[in-house]
Amino acid sequence: MATYKPTIGEKIAYTGDQANQPWDGTVVAIYHDADWGTSFDLEEDNEDEHDCVLFARLSGCQVGEYNGTCNPRFSTVESRNRWRSLKIAEMKAQLSKALGR
């Protein structure tokens, strides 16, 4: 799998886990380092829900294609929405088949 390459303003989804709610964020800064590669800052979009703004510094290898689980922990919102649309279409097809439509 290719390493994710961030762009400023891109939406990233944190998939959550047993102890942490999922949330969406925006890439707000990108850093390039000869030794460590590219990293970026992610700021939560819904900061009004918390007493503080969630903020993370990530590397591209921490962002992957969404697959309906919490692994990878981060994916693009576009990837998550594409997966959801596919699963909804599959569910509708199965329902139509079960109802004989």
CA distance linking residue 94 with residue 20, whole number of Å: 32
What six digits make up the tokens of 68?
């309906």
- The pLDDT-based confidence of 1 (bands split at 50, 70, 90) is low
Residue 23 makes CB contacts below 8 A (sequence gap 6+) with 13, 14, 16, 44, 45, 46, 54
* Token pair in block for residue 40: 């970026």
**pLDDT tens-place string over residues 42-93:** 988 876 665 556 677 888 888 999 998 888 889 999 999 999 999 999 999 9
Residues 55-65 have pLDDT tens digits of: 778 888 889 99
pLDDT of the residue at 51: 58
What's the whole-number mean pLDDT along residues 28-35? 90
**Per-domain boundaries in the chain:** 11-98
